[in-house]
Amino acid sequence: MMNSIILRTATKLLFGLLLIFSVFLFLRGHNEPGGGFIGGLVGATSFALFAIAYGPAKSREILKLDPQVLIGLGILFAAISGIISILLGTPFMTGAWVMPEVGGSVLHLGTPIIFDIGVYLVVVGFTLGVIFSLEEEK
Amino acid sequence: MENHLLLILPILTPLLFAALGMILYKSRTAQRTTAIIGSAAQVAVTVLLFRRIWEEGIIAAQMGNWPAPFGISLVGDTFSGIMVLTVAVTSLAIFIYSLADIDKKREHYGYYPALNLLVMAVNGTLLTGDIFNMFVWFELTLISAFVLLSIGNTRQQLEGTIKYVIINLFSSALFLLAVGLLYGIVGSLNMADVAVKLESYENTGLITTISVLFMVSFGLKAAVFPLFFWLPSSYHTPPVAISAFFAGILTKVAIYVLARYYTLIFVQDVGYTHTILLWIGGLTMVIGVLGAAAQYEFRKILSIHIVSQIGYMIMGIALFTPMALLGTVFFVVNQIFVKMNLFLISGIANRLGGSFELKELGGLYKNYLWLGVLFLISAFSLAGFPPLSGFWAKFTLVYAGLEIQAWVIVGVALGVSLLTLFSMVKIWAFAFWKALPEGHPADTRDYQKRISTRDLILLAAPVVFLALLTVVIGVFPEYLYAVSERAAEQLMGRTEYIETVLQP
């Protein structure tokens, strides 16, 4: 933890910005560079920054869920994306899509998005698990 | 149930229960319960899978519905089916044993999810029909094994872990190199497709080179001579449940892969590759058994013996006849039960006698007759005493060798068997038969009460179960024999495998 007022003030501004940017990167991954992995890394950065500015205990507090639980949830999401294809009678991990029309343009929603949410959660959980335990060791 | 579902379930079930274990990591009871339920479910799905394979022959499914050879195929033939089933049954035994063997701290650090993930990775390796996918499963095995070996952070453990990880990373690097070269020449990594394409490939020298790269890589993982040194220096360091799982299953998975590659893919220059394998097999047997003679630590003797037994399995692959492969399959399955059981027994001996050192143990036969009987069953099965299961395993291998007049390897195999018996008798004489050393703390009544009855039942139940299996396989070998026979047929007649995977 760094006791710096400049960092703390900046963190307040950057925290939300980084989270929004991570969601943007996550969604952008649909057709362009981005996706769950890089989005998850940026998402974890926001909490890591918070941990550096205010201490890991505070950061854990606003994260609500434990990093281990996040990893578990992520794996569950990834598995569910495959199980959906099984329920539809196709082999594991076959992409299943719905394409509703929203406001004149077609929205591509499918199981790969659920998989990517899983990746996002695993990456956030893993990164924060490492960073928190390193910070707490001091 | 659909074939594709049956093939993915052995991989999916442990994954789901690992995720559950992580989500519920705060509650010790929840973790233990989900682990046991998950493992029981695992046995159920693998029984279903094996039944389907037994009824329909080889089954294959294309994951994500991408047609072979472009997507990843999962393939179940009799060999992988019986292996997956064996892994499920033995891992249930390990999970139950762990309830009494693994301390709270290790449980808190995620022991059960890690073990579940290891089971998943092993099943993936056994069921995949894609070479690169197999590489990924190998990596997952390595990572989970790394966690399990180092969990608990004792000094001795970390030393063993570092050796294990470095040597396995090196082996993975070789594997990846070989995969790259293979992809460079045939442009495909689906095993069935590669097998077809290599048939018409003219430069057999290049293929042989690649096959030897694969051989070194899997040889490291299977701990064959001269690449076995990492095994005896890492397997005795973690808690017993973990080392029993490793000892029983991990090296045998590498043998499974060797058997798959050297019957399906690399059969262009059998005279060359399989002769190397035969030498490796013979030397591995001898060196392993001699190494064990010099040891006086319970688990170290058993660890080095793994190496010796690996030699027998390689011998079956190298002889390359249906009878020999039958012997290998029989031997591998039997070995998983027996070796695991011996490790579990060493754990109980340690809890009751207070040590893994043979010189500090003693009097186990007098004080705990049941443990002595259980040890005798497994040890004599390992050495190949009739009517126990190990006898049939060695008998088929020796018979296969005599069939094609491979006198030398048969002689070596028989000689090594005798020496195996020597090591087992050494453990028997030191730990079970001789009196307790003077002034040993285990002599007092309080010491014997140190382990609770509940714990003792949890520790002993898996051991009794595995010993019973050994006896049953020994008295009724025809069932496992029939399974091994079909597995060997499918390995030798590779067209069924290729056609099943590549059918449109």
Tell me the ipTM for this assembly: 0.91
Report pLDDT for B439: 65
CB contact under 8 A, A92 and B18: no
User: Closest residue of B to A118, CA-based?
Assistant: B19
User: Inter-chain contact B19–A76, Cβ cutoff 8 Å?
Assistant: yes
Mean of all residue pLDDT scores within chain B = 90
The total of structural domains in chain B comes to 1
**Predicted pLDDT at B433:** 84
Q: For A28-59, what is each residue's pLDDT tens digit?
A: 988 888 889 999 999 999 999 999 999 999 99
Tell me the pTM.
Answer: 0.94
Q: Cβ contacts (< 8 Å) between A73 and chain B: which residues?
A: 19, 23
Specify the 3-state DSSP secondary structure of A105: strand
Instruction: Summarize pLDDT for B70-98 with one digit per residue, the tens.
Output: 889 999 999 999 999 999 999 999 999 99
Phi-psi region of B67 (alpha: psi -120 to 50; beta: other; left: phi over 0): beta
pLDDT in tens, B192-219: 999 999 988 888 888 999 999 999 999 9
Q: Whole domain around residue B185: which residue ranges?
A: 2-502
DSSP-derived secondary structure for B29-94:
HHHHHHHHHHHHHHHHHHHHHHHHHHHHSSEEEEGGGPPTTTS-EEEE-HHHHHHHHHHHHHHHHH
Determine, for residues A71 and B18 on separate chains, whether the beta-carbon distance falls below 8 Å. no
Residue A91 at interface with chain B, using a CB cutoff of 8 Å: yes
Q: How many whole angstroms from its chain centre is CA B231?
A: 13
Q: How confident is the model at residue B504 (pLDDT cuts 50, 70, 90)?
A: low
Measure the CA–CA gap between B204 and B223, rounded to whole angstroms. Answer: 27
| The two structure tokens encoding residue B148 | 């399990």
Selected for mutation to probe chain B from A65, A75, A114, A124 (highest B CB count within 10 Å) is A75
CA nearest to B242, candidates B230, B233, B250: B250
Cβ–Cβ gap A92/B64 under 8 Å: yes
Measure the CA–CA gap between B352 and B447, rounded to whole angstroms: 8
State the average pLDDT over residues B249-273.
91
Q: From the CA of A33, how many Å to the nearest CA of chain B?
A: 22
Among residues B330, B335, B273, B328, the alpha carbon closest in space to that of B307 is found at B335
- Please give the Cα distance from B315 to B305 (Å, whole number): 16
DSSP result, A110-128 = EHHHHHHHHHHHHHHHHHH
pLDDT tens track for A12-24: 999 999 999 999 9
Q: How many CB atoms lie within 10 A of CB A8?
A: 14
